[in-house]
Structure formats: C-alpha cells, structure tokens
Amino acid sequence: MGVSSYLDLRAATRARDRSLRDKVMSLEEAAKLVTSGEHVALGGCTASRTPFAMIWALIRAGVTDLTVSRSIISTEGDLLYASGASRHIMTSWFSQGIVWGVSKVMRAYTESGRARFEEWSHMAMGLRYRAGAMGVPFMPMRSMLGSGVLDRAEGAKTLECPFTGETLLLVPALNPDVALIHVQRCDAYGNAQLDGLTFMDIDMAMAAKRVILTTERIVSNEQIRRAPDQTKIGFFTVDAVVEVPFGSAPHECYGLYEPFYSHMDLYAEMTAKDPEAGAQAYLERFYHEPTNWAGYLERIGMAELLDARRRGSSIYDD
C-alpha cells in the first residue's frame, strides 16, 4: 500500500463538500459510498466500538477485495475473510480476544494462503494513521527494529537520523479511502462526541479520504455547541451519518453496553470444529437472513442485549 501523493491528497480534500450540511442516511445508502477494492479503516479496538453495523451492511451489499486496516481486529476480521469482503487485513493483532484463543477462521484463511494478514506493531499502526492525519509521508519511531515484524512490513524503512546518527524506523502514512467509526453521539453534520477510550479514531478520521459515522443516537447541533470541547471528530471530515442503536453489538460501546459475552462464546463454538463452515453458517444466520439491523439484534436476543446494557451502564456506579 503506497503512500498517497501529497498534492493528490490535498486536492481530494479540497474537492469534498466540507460545508455544514445534513449527512444523515441509512446503512444501505452509506454502504454505497464504499467501492470494492478500496482501503477501509475500522475504528475502535478489539471488542470496543467496532463499527459492526456498517461492516454488516457492507457484507450484505456484497463488496469484495477491500484492504482493511485496524489497530487490533477481532471477529469482524474473520467475517470479512469468510464473506470475501476482504482478503487483506493490516493490523497488530487478530483474534476474537485472548480468552477465546487463536482465531480458527483467521488460521484457516491465512495458513492456506487465501487471505493475507499483514502484521505491524500496534504503535506502527497508530503512527501510520497519525502521519496520514498530519499530511506527512511517514513518522519516525523506535520500535519494530531488529524484529521479524519489520522484515515483513511492506514499505517500512530504516534511516540514520540526520541529527543524532541513531537508527530510526520510518513507517509510511496511511490515508484510508474510507474510515468506518462508531460513536456514542453526533449531530446530523457529523460532529462526534466520544466517551471513554478513543483508540486511533481521531487520527483515522483526519487521515481518511471519507468517513462514515454510525452513532448510537443523533443529537442536535445545539447540544454539540454546548460542549464543543467534547467534540473529537469534526463535521468537516465526515461524509455520512447513520443512526444505529447498538451499532457495535456484539462488542461494547463505552458507557452504554459491554461486550455480549454469551454471543461471543456462541461464535467461538460455531467456528470451533469446522471454522469455515461455522463462519458461513454464522454469516447466513446473523448477516443475510435478518431483513434489518433490528432483526440482527433480535437474533442475538433480548436477554443478551439487556444484560450487556446493564453491565455497560454500571461501570461508574461506585
């Protein structure tokens, strides 16, 4: 994945409609903003604020051959491989979560050479998005040096520092075609206020050429303007706003719901014996058969949803 030309990047930004305008649309309409073969960055990390509703919509829309990047990728990586939506994922860690062990679906696709898992260190992923956000072609850093990860990292280079003579690593900027980010609340223009952990999302939004926000709820612009210090992603980076309650289920959304642990156990069980068939069965049952997002949540189940909400909203009850 090469570094974008600076002038091309600027021109693309200048060509966007950056006015304060209503960007609210449906999941299906937003899915049409993503084209097969593009680089899609996913906000959140591991089991937190994963943009599952948008991933669900893209898989249903039948997009293929995306290059997908994320800080740490969980089950959505399995499903992107299994659906054919992506055969190339860039991340620092890939599995549902340490308590569920190594992803058998990831193993099946990567060990057979049918999909690529391009590994970078966590900080390298972060600094690659940051370089993209800053409009510079790379960032210098001091890890990955000497490791096998560096040997396999496409585009990373070492440099003798012109100031100190030290060996530094330069990691190339990432300017994703699209970033998918799930937030607690934003207005119709895309001013997003994030609670809790922000992961790499702020840099990702600035780096991306387009941003699709899914949000637990849409609030008024007046409410945003009452606390502009809480706005972490600015409207000028955002192209689409989709209101999707429980939009990161079965993962958590800080302060609102925790991960749906029983459902994550179910996924692990379904993919334990025959990972590929299990992932296909999961996609059929939870992605293709429901007619809308509410139908997906119904399949996960009301008891799970209420339990995740109860746990999620009691985090600061002491």
Partner 1 sequence: MTTDLAHAGLARADLGVAPAAPAHTASELLAVMSARLLREGQTVFAGVGIPLLAAILAQRTHAPGLTILFEGGVIGPFVEPGKLPPSTNEQRCTRRANMLVSITDVLLMLQRGYVDVGFMGGAQIDRYGNLNSSFIGDADAPKIRLPGTGGGNDIASLADMIVAMKHEKRRFVEKVDFVTSPGFLRGGSSRADAGLPAGGMFRVVTDLGILGFDPESRAMMVLALHPGVSAETIRAHTGFPLPVPDDVAVTEPPTAGELAILRELDPARLYTA
For position 236 contacting partner 1 by CB under 8 A, the verdict is: no
Taking CB under 8 A as the criterion, the residue among 34, 40, 47, 179 binding partner 1 is 47
121 binds partner 1 (CB under 8 A): yes
DSSP, residue by residue, 32-77: TT--TT-EEEE-SBTTBS--HHHHHHHHHHT---EEEE-SSB-HHH
Interface characters, 50-79, with partner 1 (x: CB under 8 A): ---------------------xx-------
The answer to the question of residue 42 lying near partner 1 (CB under 8 A) is no
Give 115's DSSP letter: S
| Interface of this chain with partner 1, residues 268 to 297, rule: CB under 8 A | none
- Applying CB under 8 A, does 259 fall inside the site for partner 1? yes
User: Omega of the bond prior to 250 within 30 degrees of 0, cis?
Assistant: yes
How many residues sit close enough to partner 1 to count as binding (CB under 8 A)?
64
Asked whether position 216 contacts partner 1 by CB under 8 A, the answer is no
Task: Label residues 148-184 b or e (16+ Cβ within 10 Å = b).
Answer: ebbeebeebeeeeeeeeeeebbbbbbbbbbbbbbbbb
Q: Kindly tell me which residue out of 130, 185, 209, 210 binds partner 1, with binding defined by CB under 8 A.
A: 130
* 184 sits near partner 1 (criterion: CB under 8 A): no
Query: Which listed range, 5-13, 125-133, 211-219, 274-282, lies at the site for partner 1 (CB under 8 A)?
Result: 125-133
Q: What is the DSSP letter of 228?
A: G
Q: Where does the chain show beta strands of DSSP type E? A: 39-42, 66-69, 86-91, 116-119, 138-141, 157-160, 167-172, 178-186, 192-193, 211-218, 231-233, 240-243
Tell me if 202 contacts partner 1 by CB under 8 A: yes
312 binds partner 1 (CB under 8 A): yes
Q: How far is the CB of 62 from partner 1 (least distance, A)?
A: 27
Does residue 110 interact with partner 1 by CB under 8 A?
yes
The region, left, alpha or beta by phi > 0 then psi within -120 to 50, assigned to residue 202 is alpha
Q: How far is the CB of 84 from partner 1 (least distance, A)?
A: 19
| CB distance 182 to 55 below 8 Å | no
Between 57 and 174, name the residue whose CB sits nearer to partner 1: 174
Tokens 């409207």 sit on residue: 235
CB of 148 to partner 1, least distance (A): 4
Phi-psi region of 222 (alpha: psi -120 to 50; beta: other; left: phi over 0): alpha
CB of 201 to partner 1, least distance (A): 8
Closest CB to partner 1 among 60 and 251?
Answer: 251
Among 56, 81, 129, 286, binds partner 1 (CB under 8 A): 129
From the list 22-30, 166-174, 279-287, 297-305, the region that binds partner 1 by CB under 8 A is 166-174
Beta bridge partners of residue 90, listed in sequence order? 69, 118
Q: Does 107 bind partner 1 (CB under 8 A)?
A: yes
Spatial CA neighbour of 44 closest among 185, 194, 263: 194
Interacting residues with partner 1 (CB under 8 A): 45-48, 71-72, 91-95, 97-99, 102-103, 106-107, 110-111, 113, 117, 119, 121-124, 126-127, 129-130, 141-149, 152, 158, 166-169, 196-203, 252, 254-255, 258-259, 261, 312, 315-316, 318
